[in-house]
Amino acid sequence: MLVIVGVLSAVAAPRFFARGGFDAYGYGEAVRRGVRLAQKAAIAKRRTTCVSQTTTALTLTFATAAGGLACDAALLDPATGTAFSEPVPSGLTVSPATFTFTFTPLGRPSAGQTITVTSDVVATIIVEAETGYVR
């Protein structure tokens, strides 16, 4: 019995204290939530919305002018009431490292996207090209 406990502590314990897998999963879910919010806001506001990822954060903006293509105002996060900005946790790799795409007022993306967040695990976010469905 003691041998089993020793083996489990040597193999399993580091996984409980490694944070990278949790950060990758959490940030992947935050990106998924942000992209879904951008699509829903595009439809609800009948405005173009933009999703932008930099090396430091994911941000959402929208066009204030009807029929406009330039995203010139921050999209508010309904959870906080402030501009949507999701910082990238340290130790994660987002691929592509930087990107920008838009949703039309009908919720269709400018292009399909595949976004990966990598650490100890890989979280993949896919935006379907025709429908904008986020999975």
Residue 52 identity: S
Largest CA distance in the chain: 69
Domains and CATH numbers, the chain: 2-127 (3.55.40)
Q: For residue 11, is pLDDT > 60?
A: no
Give per-residue pLDDT as tens, 67-82. 898 999 999 999 999 9
Give per-residue pLDDT as tens, 14-34. 555 567 788 999 999 999 999
pLDDT band with cut points at 50, 70 and 90 for residue 7: low
Q: How far is CA 117 from CA 28, 31, 67, 96, in A?
A: 6, 9, 33, 9
pLDDT band with cut points at 50, 70 and 90 for residue 84: very high
Give dist(CA 41, CA 77) in Å, integer: 11
